[in-house]
Chains A and B, each alone.
Chain A
């Protein structure tokens, strides 16, 4: 079975500061990895994903995540956050070839002006 751990439930950070949201996963088989974002009163949106190939993946709004197989991690980073990045971020894992997503408990990112 797959599982995801997001150790930080809340991360406050000042505007234009860097941020890292941590995600570790557990799986006995190969997996795909995802970060979803949930803005207030909205549904989940896919932020970025790792399926194969380059271990560093990027989103269109400046976030990036690196798949580290040896550390079973997929941490999300952004060098300079904006107020609009305030949201809940969920890390998720999917067994390759399957379609079931297993989510972590989420990290609430609050950007302080």
Chain B
């Protein structure tokens, strides 16, 4: 079974530029998560989708971050414009479905963003 795919693996941009990350979850997984992992910290949830609807985006800085999952499969996370403090690893995860007592989350390899 293929795992969660993310691209690109690395991205370097200058502040005020825009950037987009792509995630392809495990086939059949209804729930998709984006996490931000700043160096020296644990991952922090940015947004959670159930199919193509947003379940939780309370931690997403909506003035500059946006995410979509139009067809309930792939997802894109965008930052526009980027700031220095956005330098982090962006992790995508997926799980089978949201309406169960527990669903294991499977993580992709992440995209390492450096903002100069």
Contacts and interface: CB of A to CB of B under 8 A. Distances in A.
B51 interface: no
A105 B40 contact: yes
A51 to B, nearest CB: 6
A34 B65 CA distance: 28
B102 A32 contact: yes
Interface in A37-56: 41-46, 49, 51
A12 to B, nearest CB: 17
Contact of A99 (B4, B91, B103, B108): B103
A97 to B, nearest CB: 6
B102 A92 contact: no
Interface class of chain A by DSSP = loop
Report, as a range, how many residues of chain A touch the other chain. Answer: 20 to 34
Interface stretch (B11-19, B41-49, B71-79, B80-88): B41-49
Given A101-B43, A106-B42, 20 more contacts: A32-B102, A42-B109, A43-B3, A43-B91, A43-B109, A43-B110, A44-B43, A44-B91, A44-B107, A45-B107, A90-B42, A90-B43, A97-B101, A99-B48, A99-B103, A101-B45, A103-B42, A104-B42, A106-B40, A106-B41
Interface of B: 3-4, 31, 40-45, 48, 55-56, 91, 93, 95, 98, 101-105, 107-110
Interface of A: 4, 9, 32, 36, 41-46, 49, 51, 90, 92, 94, 96-97, 99-101, 103-106
